[in-house]
Amino acid sequence: MNVSSVLIAGGGMAGFQTASSLRELGYAGDITIVDASTAPPYDRPPLSKDYLLGSSTIEHLAFAKPEWYVEKNIALVLGSAITALDPDSGTVTLANGRDLCADVVVLALGGAARKLPLDTGTASNIHTLRTVEDANALHAAISVGTRLLIVGAGLIGAETASSAATLGATVTLVDPFEPPLVPVVGLDMARYLHAHHAGSGIRTIQGSLTQLIADDSGDYVAAVLESGERLDIDQILVGIGITPNTQLAVAAGLEVDNGVIVDSNHRTSHPRVFSTGDMARTRTADGELARRNEHWESARLSGTATARGILGLEPDHADSHWFWSDRAGIHLEVAGDMSAAAESVFRGSTQDDSFVLFRVNGSTLVAAASINDSMAVRAARRIIAAGTAVTAADLANPAVNLKKLTRGIAS
């Protein structure tokens, strides 16, 4: 198919990267990014950190300056959501009634924050954190002494707890798992991270809510735990994951199963529609449906892969899974699958300011997680991607240069 125009629905990392990669790969046709936000495409991870703290602005979060879009000849259509997609004609209809048409449509609509089942939907003091508007509302609601209940101690919940405590809030973090995040960081690192909250004055509770109590205005003033304990609160943040925004795809008749189903080129069940980022779910060559990834790096790589797919290019070699998180003065990085069957090997100790936890299966490095040591994870990613043989002794020994291990040079 001759592609003279591409319309990208969604201005998050995956959508932006699709547009950027198309130009980098030499595509000269029309590119349009459509997004419901009035802000040009911007980065989401800082929303729970610098932006919430007030030390960053929406201009700092922007992926590119306005002149970049002019230089790259990429049109932005902002401030109106897409309400319908006709895949046969490549036409999308906006909430303002406008129709736009392209040879290829890319769905990069991300996901929506899951709602708390107990929430009636009438309270003004319950929050989620997915957009700059969400962050603005949460920041305005927090001041010194604000009693903030955070439900869900995953990455967003934990990062926001740290920022809110810095702003002077009294933070309680509730999660049904003890410790949280085991599937993504492994048990040892999960224990370390969760215990770290106490140093910021954050109370952590293992459990679930059974009731939310509202006042006459409809705002929540207390939450009751399954233990029977009542927590008096001023604000609530819900951080219990996302659901992919597949409504448009479902209505358009695309194949959907906890995400829009795509092949290795990110093409959906309709030949002129692609999907990328958090909302896309890949069917592998053997027919298996892969797990959706909801991290920044995954979205970036997904965007690049989508651009290559549109242009009929083979996918790049897949890099190892990688993400990061910042909270209370510590920087976490993870590469690979920390939940895979493997032996834990520490370089350093959890008592140190920085350390690395490797996961090793025989001579194969399957994953690594570090605190305040980005270079170690960078080396680990190269080792994992190349399949370079390693030994537990070399990984544990701080005298062994990890960079040399990437070249197969052992001690």
Give the strand pairing for 330-336 and 273-275.
unpaired
Residue 406 confidence (pLDDT): 84
> Domain residues of the chain, as ranges?
5-111+243-310, 115-238, 329-405
Query: Distances in Å between the alpha carbon of 157 and those of 129, 321, 338?
Result: 9, 21, 20
State the Cα–Cα distance between residues 132 and 184, nearest whole angstrom: 26
5-111+243-310: what fold?
FAD/NAD(P)-binding domain (3.50.50)
DSSP 321: P
DSSP 198: G
DSSP 241: -
Task: Report residue 192 as tokens.
Answer: 């370390």
Residue 119 confidence (pLDDT): 96
Give the strand pairing for 322-327 and 330-336.
antiparallel
Tell whether pTM > 0.85.
yes
% helix, strand, coil for the chain, step of 5? 30, 30, 40
Confirm if 55 and 326 have CB atoms less than 8 A apart. Answer: no
Residue 211 confidence (pLDDT): 98
Longest CA–CA span in the chain (Å) reads 69
Task: Report residue 237 as tokens.
Answer: 């943040």
Residue 329 confidence (pLDDT): 87
State the Cα–Cα distance between residues 274 and 103, nearest whole angstrom: 11
Indicate if 329-405 has the same CATH topology as 5-111+243-310. Answer: no
Tally Cβ neighbours within 10 Å of residue 199. Answer: 11
Q: Encode pLDDT of 24-73 as tens digits.
A: 999 999 999 999 999 999 999 999 999 999 999 999 999 999 999 999 99
Place domain 329-405 in its CATH homologous superfamily.
Answer: FAD/NAD-linked reductase, C-terminal dimerisation domain (3.30.390.30)
Residue 409 confidence (pLDDT): 64
Helix, strand or coil for residue 61?
Answer: helix
Tally Cβ neighbours within 10 Å of residue 37. Answer: 18
Rg (CA), the chain: 23
Task: Report residue 43 as tokens.
Answer: 């980065």
Sign of the CA dihedral with 122 first, then 168, 203, and 156 last = positive
Residue 83 confidence (pLDDT): 98
Closest C-alpha among 392, 375, 286, 281 to residue 333:
375
State the Cα–Cα distance between residues 227 and 365, nearest whole angstrom: 42
Q: What is the full per-residue pLDDT of the chain (411 aa) written as tens digits? A: 789 999 999 999 999 999 999 999 999 999 999 999 999 999 999 999 999 999 999 999 999 999 999 999 999 999 999 999 999 999 999 999 999 999 999 999 999 999 999 999 999 999 999 999 999 999 999 999 999 999 999 999 999 999 999 999 999 999 999 999 999 999 999 999 999 999 999 999 999 999 999 999 999 999 999 999 999 999 999 999 999 999 999 999 999 999 999 999 999 999 999 999 999 999 998 999 988 988 899 999 999 999 999 999 988 866 668 999 999 889 999 999 998 999 999 999 999 999 999 999 999 999 999 999 999 999 999 999 999 999 999 999 999 999 888 887 665
Angle, helices 13-24/296-310, rounded to nearest 10 degrees: 40
CATH architecture classification, 115-238: 3-Layer(bba) Sandwich (3.50)
